[in-house]
Structure 1
Amino acid sequence: MTQPHLADEVQPRTPTHHLTLRFSGTRRGARLARQLAVQQLTEWTGLPYDSDPARTVALVTAELASNAIRHGSVPGRDFRLTLLHLPQAFRIEVTDTRPERLPATPQPADATSGRGLLLVQAYADRWGCEPRDTYTKTVWAEVPLHAMGS
């Protein structure tokens, strides 16, 4: 798996589907983002809602949204979820309002924090972080479609 890095590619490969929505910086917002990501995966790919790939997308989305709320949130600000169905992957992007707080390299399982990013690293084919502008950063992960067979 790759280590987190500033984007070596500014634009992802051309998506066949694309969706962006804002959610409240709350646990409810994170839960809704996770549910939407799974719904879009199943709609765009035809995979069952209870399939392993759908569970993987749910886990990765939950971790990225949770981190945005816990570490990247400014009170009163939402986070943005972008989903992209790429030719070889399903890309999940979560944009928050703390560009100065970049995610740390995942810590070993016995660490007291950072374990969520270990899960992202384990399940995603690639992941990273991109400061988008003075006010936002995006943490993203790509779940490979070739491993998503029925």
Structure 2
Amino acid sequence: MHTSTPQSCATVRTFAQRLSSTRRGARLARLLAVERLTAWDMSPAVIERAEHVVAELASNAALHGRVQGRDFLLTLTLDDAAGPLRIAVSDTRGEYRPAIPPERGPDHESGRGLLLVDTLADRWGTEPRPPSGKTVWAEIDQHGERLEAVSGQ
């Protein structure tokens, strides 16, 4: 008699959407990400962190990575086998690489977005996207609870 060992079937879930490189497109990216992560039954703490990360990366793509007539791409990838949630935003301006700016004074109205990404994501970085673009990605561990960074708890 031959018996087989049950094997868990790990699923990799992916969501990808092209969006206009506008403020409206950035807002839609955030809303779509929250909807998708809720449908994937992610924890509220991960969804909250991801919402802020998507908002910042999509806003940067629409503001700094914009090329007239070209969209940006939002991709969410989740490996159910305890892999991290990967958020990737690709735009067509490969010459502009994001970096955390030097210390900003209280009067500066912008320039803190990547500080938020750095605080909320477990890892983040950039990679080229040939022929002329870039992808900025961030990973959030499914079981890493860093909600205090968002809500101040």
| TM-score bracket relative to the smaller structure | 0.7 to 0.9
Q: Distance in 2 between matches of 1:85 and 1:106?
A: 30
Q: Distance in 2 between matches of 1:28 and 1:105?
A: 24
Query: Is the 1:25–1:79 Cα contact (8 Å) retained in structure 2?
Result: yes
Q: Indicate yes or no: 2:116 matched with 1:119.
A: yes
Query: Is the 1:127–1:139 Cα contact (8 Å) retained in structure 2?
Result: yes
Q: Indicate yes or no: 2:33 matched with 1:40.
A: no
Instruction: Extract unaligned runs of 5+ from structure 1.
Output: 1-13
Instruction: Give the equivalent residue in structure 1 for 2:95.
Output: 100
Q: TM-score, normalised by structure 2?
A: 0.79
Q: Distance in 2 between matches of 1:97 and 1:123?
A: 25
Q: CA RMSD in A?
A: 2.1
For 1:1-150, list aligned pairs within 5 A: 16-47=12-43, 51-86=44-79, 87-110=82-105, 112=108, 113-147=110-144
Q: Which has the higher contact order (CA 8 A, sep 6+)?
A: 1
**Percentage of identical aligned residues:** 51
| AA of the residue aligned to 1:58 | E
Deviations 1:45-96 (A, max 9, x none): 343xxx3322211100000000001111111111000000133311110000
Q: State the secondary structure of the residue aligned to 2:139.
A: strand
Q: Distance in 2 between matches of 1:15 and 1:82?
A: 16
Instruction: Give the equivalent residue in structure 2 for 1:5.
Output: none
Q: TM-score, normalised by structure 1?
A: 0.80
**Cα drift, residue 15 of structure 1:** 6.7
Q: Distance in 2 between matches of 1:31 and 1:67?
A: 12
Deviations 1:29-50 (A, max 9, x none): 1111101111111111343xxx
Q: How many aligned positions are there?
A: 133
Query: Is the 1:131–1:137 Cα contact (8 Å) retained in structure 2?
Result: yes
